[in-house]
Amino acid sequence: MSDGASPRAILHVDMDAFYASVEQRDDPSLRGRPVIVGGHLRRGVVLAASYEVRRFGVRSAIPMARAVKLAPHAVVVPPRFAAYAEASDQVFALFASVTPLVEPLSLDEAFLDVTGSQSLFGTPWDIATRLRRRIAEEVRLPCSAGIASVKFAAKIASDLAKPNGQREVPADGTKAFLDPLPVSRLWGVGPRTEEAMTALALRTIGDVARADPAWLERRLGTSGRLFWELAQGIDAREVVPDRDAKSMGAEDTFEEDVEDREILKVHLHSQALRVARRLRRAGVKTRVVQLKVKFADFE
């Protein structure tokens, strides 16, 4: 909720299989076919997988060698980061046409606070519908949108709306929306934390919401209180546009450990493009560049 009586209206807009969708858009022969965007067939990882190839178990961040075994008939194309950055710029220009409050999360997703845009553009549902239609018509790419009064719920709603859909969570229905979902949907819950929660008989977000927050803190550390608040639908974080951000970054989490430095270089290139574009849009320069790496032991 905002400081006033009315709930906030937050959109989470996420492009669908972004890199793969750009490749299918630019090469008509790829449309409707299983497409994998990735690097070296033996040492690379999947950067993007079209929805046609996901049904065979191929997803981003898995090794390319495994992906081509799962879908030997798939078309493999090398990444074209310049093309993805150009498409991203077009999409974000459309975001900016409905609100100045746009917080980029990556090249292909962002939070938008449209609370103050409703008098001009209609309901949050109408705004999301119009945005998605314009992206489809002007950039020729599919996307999904989630609508909620808090960031956390908007992000989950867009995930559940994929591909090429949208879902709205009423402000007074946030907790009911979250209750039946698995704990893995909570921000900050990875495989290890999910395992610890399961051992405590916490399998759904509703289970966490019904638990005593002090007990959760004792069992799960300082994150226990945060998990309880999210489970209640409490998420006071604002949408922070680049011009107001104190730092800008890009982060990727791999579903499997990556040991090859050549593979990491591809991801670093993509991250550098993302951060540089945000800096340019905000009209700022950076004095410090920080690289964060998390290892398998969570160090």
**Residues with catalytic roles:** 109
Distance, CA of 180 to CA of 207 (rounded, Å): 9
Residues with Cβ within 8 Å of 245's Cβ and at least 6 positions away in sequence, in order, are 103, 282
* 58's tokens: 């191929």
Tell which residue, 142, 168, 148, 178, has the closest CA to residue 16: 142
Residue with tokens 């807009």: 13
- Nearest Cα to Cα of residue 206 among 191, 186, 187: 186
The whole-angstrom separation of Cα 148 and Cα 174 is 8
Cβ atoms within 10 Å of 61's Cβ, excluding its own: 17
* Residue given tokens 């929805």 in the structure block: 51
Which residues make Cβ contacts (< 8 Å) with residue 181, sequence separation at least 6?
Answer: 156, 204, 205
Q: Dump strand ranges (E) for 52-175.
A: 75-77, 102-106, 109-113, 143-148, 166-168
Yes or no: say if 20 and 35 are a contact pair by the CB < 8 Å rule.
yes
**Alpha-carbon span 87 to 107, nearest angstrom:** 9
143 touches 15 (CB < 8 A): yes
- Phi, psi for residue 159 in degrees, rounded to 5: -60, -45
CA dist 268 → 92, 224, 262, 284 (Å):
21, 32, 10, 21
Assigned token pair, 240? 């922070």
